[in-house]
Structure 1
């Protein structure tokens, strides 16, 4: 669209958007009342209205103020702002009775509507006009307005039933966005459906008492008592208050485990399409008289309005958060860093209007500011110049603030984490990519950008929030910004995430063992090849020897089933634990195949145990005590020397198929390694299905490293076993015997 046409249309959309709001109906139940001022006198002008005196005639306003989340010192929400249509009580003479009472047709009072909440919290639309960013979206909030834009700037959320494709915003791939901005708004679910008075007698789903053995407390106030003393510490109804996630996620592997540790918003609010702030720098002032706001998901040219800038989905940060039901789960948040000027020992905030006076002289920047900030001397201050990134700039602004009467001006930085809880779109836009979490470089603990620069060199200080845990360290990025870094070993919440978490100790020791075994067999094999060439001049060939039926049909079936299962388990285990770089299959398929072959291996092991016990073949694995040490030394000597000179294998104990070294190895394998893998693997499977087991084991933090250590041992054994197969009369003799069952008997004497 041509810019000359789009900007006027933008102005019209913003100007007429409020007019499309549906007016609240007249309340037929609320009694008529006399509007009064602070002294209790009847008033005829809404600006003189005192809510304490007017509403306090029937409601206990002192109790409400003491039991309200909207009664903090910096929050100015009043009864009128929340419960009256439009947030204002406009009194006209024709609306008043002779005795000063307000006529019923003028009483448009009821439960807070979305538009009332939007007056402070963010961008909310009923869909009557195209969604557009209002003109004051980036303006610093006034001390008496209460507007924070926490919903949109903080979460990147827009609450509207309108399709995103029908909005005025310039969204990436806009034509394909047929989903509404908020599916709850599209289904007529209003704000009060989740944020309601905690003592509302209509709500019987919460326990109001302190008795722990009560899951629901039937004792509740009457409606009359509630109307007099409504508790305005509003509830935060979570998704699970209305939805049963166990019935809606049948496709999800390890469903119970995912839903225990992951909040619903982790996938359903994975990235809003509204402009989400990264940092708000109120230490500087733009030409429009607003703080400098940097967004996470907005591609914006200098001077371009937000409505025409390109907006993309942003990637939130996953942290551990305490949800409304008291459970700790991984949930998405948007960290927003803010900087402002403060003064004095008490660090009182300097009014932004005073900061504007420092920077602007009318509609233009003050000459002194231009002189200090305009580094390229083009007469304009671009985004990279309008920042306090040097001591000279900071000192200049501080001195100009002192000249306006500000005492000891300093810069203060804070960091707030806004949980993503609004702007939930349709299920087809939910995150379904397993690699988003189950990969080495996933969103679980990758370095997350906090700020592109530090105004005045002041790092942001995370605010205390008992419900959100920003685990990690604020570190300086190479470009001078700040990122949140977490440990490489675990996720931010201390969870072990398959495909992402790395077991440093077991991986290091296991890989060292694997390298040692691989290097050992490689050197041993090279020595055999070289010495065999030196013996090539010897005349004659080794006699074939007699054949003996050694391995029965079931033994061979058991062996090859075990071998196939072991190879598949090693390959899929690397895929599950190694991340996307080692994953030819997707994670879900790799886990399913791994579990299936683990079950095959276990069944094969139990059947083999029954077979060996029933047929007494178990004696082959039990060393014969007489001469055992001597036979061990003979076989060790053979592997260290005799095999290089063509000597025959030392004889086994009478009636035994396995030599003593094999017996020791298989006893350790069958009695230690296999049970270790069976038990830890079964526990990993159980953790994914039963929360009580997961809680008792503290997740996978202990079980997974043990299983990982066993996997390295099994891999090392597999390499050694494959090599030893080649140490028969010929390199393929042992392999052939495990296929046919017949083995050649070696004659006495050296082999060439």
Structure 2
């Protein structure tokens, strides 16, 4: 019987056969993680004697407990301001919460509501004319291949919202708090401030375009609302008092918890439990960076990680030390956290610190929900707030904690803290997303770094990867090396016949010339739906002409390695199918999107310590990062122009067909001893050295001759 099984159940409870089956099952499941309550109670203090595991931990973390709160009881009102206990209408949070809080101000001062809708580009990027602003509404998303242009629908189905917004909400509304351009969907306070909001039921209402009932559906599971046999939402009056109010404890109201943030930023599911994890597009943070913000130690994870038995470090040391999302990403006008330094939008630029504070009452009335944020390459929304969050040096005494680091000022000026404290990402991350073809499930073709298989399969071994260090613009002319992941994306675009550029020839001859063409102002990405219509029959099978063009071994089936546009005949077949469904002038475009890595911070023993990691022949600053094993349409991706990176490095095509990004040191920003060399400077230095040696020999020789002559004169 294994020690693990002994620690879970008493010996008298299990028979030998049950023990054998239980041990095998536990081995397949993997070591469980501590729930948040146990993590808070456990203080390691250098001890390696971790508490035993329990069945409760095996079953997953318990439901969040209601927090003690001073919040008064809340009368639940409908859109007309009437009590829902009388009107039976859907809940209006703008009216219910707005009785005490300025709901309109909060919704208008939240980039979670606007998602960049109010940030229209004055001039569209020349490399991406289809992007009219930041955020998912106006910027093409390489993970989902969506723009509002591809979601236009019948105006009668727009529900009074801008074109495309209603369809976007039906598909992706579960990841939006409401408000902003979605005028028919109220800004949902419960998603962040409620202990267990029902995201699934809310998404069900949104997908059915029952937008007004989405806030009400969030309450399913609290006893206040049920869904009847006809699928309609019904209030439960017995759960409310005579005034139609509900106790805040029943909703579990409180400050946003990590679980509330994970619901959108890390996808649906129990992601606080590292046994249950995924790298799909819904889990955007893990899919793009491979990082996990969790307090659990890596060797306790159920993921099949390489050599994880020696990884006695948490997924993120800040999470282990009970630092939550809201502790760093707080309201900028919070009287507790304050306006902070000059990087905050709420503080004047000429002040290093602003002592003025809003009173508690003023803040409760109008809490600014434009939360402070860090500086990332992918965070294009609310760039006005970039860098407003307190940095590492605002909490840590960097000089005292790095006594053995030589040239501290120089290293702190040129390196971000994450450059050394995120030396390794232990999860897998996307390196390429190919939207030029679709897999059998009509999803894009995805390649991951850090693993050789599908990381969503429990049996796949995940080795992790070393992030590449790139020079990042930090504002005010400051540039620092920061860890990044790079993801290349290929996709089809169409251009109306009225565009000035000439139509693409259907001969299949393609590429470097066409790839170098400047995109037309009218060029737009092709939606996933249109691409699926071109590639698949109504029954969901590949069309015969697609199979004939891609089936290399002539077995009548398309294997994963055959799904790639790496030849002119394949390119012609797909282009002709796109033209057959009405796509005008289809062509392939490609982009390279960097993703800054800010989470996954390791504890001190696992931080980067060897100087040769940067000052050596295998320097991280000059690393080569693989992107794709093939190049769709022979089109090379270009770095997006809004990534706030200093242009550096180049794309290299290896003899085996792989496409790599080769980073290059930038001597004008920093000279790395041991990693860089200048031929002219080396020649000058060698010449000076030889000249010094020669002069030393001449000088020494002359002194020897002078001494000999002196002796001769003395002897004579």
Name the TM-score class by shorter chain: 0.5 to 0.7
Equivalent residue for 2:312, pick from 178, 195, 200: 178
CA distance, structure 1, for counterparts of residue 312 and residue 246 of structure 2: 45
Q: Is the 8 A contact 1:122 1:153 kept in 2?
A: no
CA distance, structure 1, for counterparts of residue 310 and residue 88 of structure 2: 47
Are 2:358 and 1:221 equivalent residues in the alignment? yes
Are 2:528 and 1:352 equivalent residues in the alignment? yes
3-state DSSP of counterpart to 2:570: helix
- In the TM superposition, residue 96 of structure 1 has moved relative to its aligned partner by 3.7
Q: Report the CA distance shift for 1:401/1:213 in structure 2 as closer, same or farther (over 3 A).
A: closer
- In the TM superposition, residue 192 of structure 1 has moved relative to its aligned partner by 1.0
- In the TM superposition, residue 404 of structure 1 has moved relative to its aligned partner by 4.8
Q: Which residue of 2 aligns with 1:335?
A: 486
Q: Is the 8 A contact 2:197 2:219 kept in 1?
A: no
Q: Which residue of 2 aligns with 1:30?
A: 71
3-state DSSP of counterpart to 1:158: coil
Q: Which residue of 2 aligns with 1:745?
A: 712
Q: Is the 8 A contact 2:590 2:636 kept in 1?
A: yes
Are 2:264 and 1:120 equivalent residues in the alignment? yes
3-state DSSP of counterpart to 2:626: strand
Are 2:675 and 1:500 equivalent residues in the alignment? yes
3-state DSSP of counterpart to 2:363: helix
Select the structure of larger CA radius of gyration: 1
Are 2:195 and 1:20 equivalent residues in the alignment? no
Equivalent residue for 1:64, pick from 88, 106, 110: 106
Q: Report the CA distance shift for 1:13/1:392 in structure 2 as closer, same or farther (over 3 A).
A: farther
CA distance, structure 1, for counterparts of residue 32 and residue 576 of structure 2: 42
Q: Which residue of 2 aligns with 1:438?
A: 615
- In the TM superposition, residue 249 of structure 1 has moved relative to its aligned partner by 0.7
More helix by share: 1
- Any unmatched runs of 5+ in structure 2? 1-19, 34-56, 118-135, 138-175, 179-188, 199-217, 226-235, 373-388, 497-521
Q: Which residue of 2 aligns with 1:372?
A: 549
Q: Report the CA distance shift for 1:62/1:260 in structure 2 as closer, same or farther (over 3 A).
A: same
Normalised by the length of structure 2, the TM-score is 0.64
Are 2:198 and 1:157 equivalent residues in the alignment? no
3-state DSSP of counterpart to 1:332: strand
CA distance, structure 2, for counterparts of residue 58 and residue 406 of structure 1: 52
Q: Which residue of 2 aligns with 1:313?
A: 464
Equivalent residue for 1:421, pick from 598, 622, 627: 598
Q: Report the CA distance shift for 1:168/1:504 in structure 2 as closer, same or farther (over 3 A).
A: same
- In the TM superposition, residue 509 of structure 1 has moved relative to its aligned partner by 3.7
Q: Is the 8 A contact 1:59 1:229 kept in 2?
A: yes
CA distance, structure 1, for counterparts of residue 102 and residue 605 of structure 2: 46
1:365-514 alignment runs, 5 A limit: 365-404=542-581, 409-465=586-642, 467-485=644-662, 490-491=666-667, 494-511=669-686, 513=687
Q: How many residues align?
A: 523
Equivalent residue for 1:242, pick from 386, 395, 398: 395
Equivalent residue for 2:177, pick from 67, 74, 77: 77
1:106-145 alignment runs, 5 A limit: 106-122=250-266, 129-134=273-278, 137-139=279-281
> Which of the pair has the greater relative contact order for Cα pairs under 8 Å at 6+ separation?
2
Equivalent residue for 2:423, pick from 270, 274, 286: 270
- In the TM superposition, residue 443 of structure 1 has moved relative to its aligned partner by 1.6
Q: Report the CA distance shift for 1:367/1:115 in structure 2 as closer, same or farther (over 3 A).
A: farther
3-state DSSP of counterpart to 1:497: coil
3-state DSSP of counterpart to 2:486: strand
Normalised by the length of structure 1, the TM-score is 0.61
- Any unmatched runs of 5+ in structure 1? 140-146, 514-712
Are 2:339 and 1:200 equivalent residues in the alignment? no
Q: CA RMSD in A?
A: 4.1
3-state DSSP of counterpart to 2:673: coil
Q: Report the CA distance shift for 1:444/1:129 in structure 2 as closer, same or farther (over 3 A).
A: closer
Are 2:317 and 1:169 equivalent residues in the alignment? no
CA distance, structure 1, for counterparts of residue 449 and residue 429 of structure 2: 6
3-state DSSP of counterpart to 1:501: coil
CA-to-aligned-CA distance 1:513-557 (integer Å, 9 cap, x gap) = 4xxxxxxxxxxxxxxxxxxxxxxxxxxxxxxxxxxxxxxxxxxxx
